[in-house]
Amino acid sequence: ELKAACESLAIGLDDTLSLLAVSGPDAGRYLHSRTTQDINALQEGEGAYAAILDKGAHVLSYFSIHQTEDVYWLLIPKAAEAATLAELEKYRIVEQATFTPRASYIYRVSGVEASAYMQQTLGVAYDNLPEMGAIQLPMGQWADSLVIR
């Protein structure tokens, strides 16, 4: 079955991750100051792995972060979602950044036919996304949906 999926198309629900939207005029600057990633270097459509550390430099949360036009998206293990959100809120004083957990379904799409499927079904040029790249789908049926490579 695995070989067949790799040679064609496999789609699966990933219920181990949560999606957190971070928006506002200071979102990028605040995330840059609170995570281990150089957020300022991320371009629209790019993504990277990041972590939040405590004062003793111990990892509190590890996640991927993806920038779209107006929003930074954090894909966080569900078990760490509440702690990550609390940690981000704890040090936000005057920054204009909003943290919004999104009810989401995260699907993994793979196989040699994945690109054609994404183009035909969602109108997404999947092959044009950089590794870990992301695009936010247009409003409508897929509102608040994100495609990540």
Angle at 48 between CA 145 and CA 94, to 5 degrees: 80
Q: What pLDDT sits at residue 140?
A: 55
**What is the mean pLDDT of each successive set of 10 residues along the chain, which is 149 residues long?**
67 85 95 94 91 90 90 92 92 93 77 82 76 70 65
Q: 10-46 burial, b for 16+ CB within 10 Å, e for fewer?
A: beeeeeebbbbbbbbebbbebbbebbebebeebeebb
Placement of tokens 């004062």 in the chain: 55
Q: What pLDDT sits at residue 63?
A: 95
3-state secondary structure the chain: CHHHHHHCCEEEECCCEEEEEEECCCHHHHHHHHCCCCHHHCCCCCEEEEEEECCCCCEEEEEEEEECCCEEEEEEEHHHHHHHHHHHHHCCCCCCCEEEEECCCCEEEECCCHHHHHHHHHCCCHHHCCCCCEEECCCCCCCCCEEEC
Q: What is the pTM of this model?
A: 0.83
Q: What pLDDT sits at residue 64?
A: 93
